[in-house]
Amino acid sequence: MRIDLFTIVVDDYDPAVEFFVGVLGFDLVEDSPSLTNDGRPKRWVVVRPPGAETGVLLARADGEHQATAVGNQVAGRVGFFLRVDDFDAAYERMTAAGVEFVTPPREEPYGRIAVFLDIAGNRWDLLGPA
């Protein structure tokens, strides 16, 4: 058993792909046309960190209810965790690419950590080795 995908609701596909692929360095696994349940066009967009098994389905908000979830999918908590082997290199690369960090790097018993925001405003932990 494994988790294959989880969804992040975004305002639009292309800026989200640019952020996750161009800025964070994820792989674009799939970007295919699709249809909503009532026949309107949408896309099936999956990104994944290199070497990871679990992917992120980038879903464009469909309607007001979903639009309210953009950037607040876990009620303002850190809900996503990106583990890297070289924290300093990842932090420097991401900072240079304009990623917004909302906390400075700090040491915790489980590793080096800094909180950043994705394109939608969701909080992520960047985690490195202790």
Cβ–Cβ < 8 Å for 2, 53: yes
In a domain, 68, yes or no: no
Identify the band that residue 37 occupies on the pLDDT scale cut at 50, 70 and 90. confident
Nearest one of 30, 27, 31 to 51, comparing CA atoms:
27
Cβ–Cβ < 8 Å for 30, 79: no
Q: pLDDT, tens digit, for every residue of 54-94? A: 999 999 999 999 999 999 999 999 999 999 999 999 999 99
In a domain, 70, yes or no: no
Paired with 114 in beta bridges are 126
- Residues 57, 2, single domain; the answer is yes
Q: Which two tokens stand for residue 28?
A: 């674009």
Q: pLDDT, tens digit, for every residue of 88-126? A: 999 999 999 999 999 999 999 999 999 999 999 999 999
Boundary-marking domain end, from 13, 28, 61: 61
Domain residues for the domain of 90 are 75-130
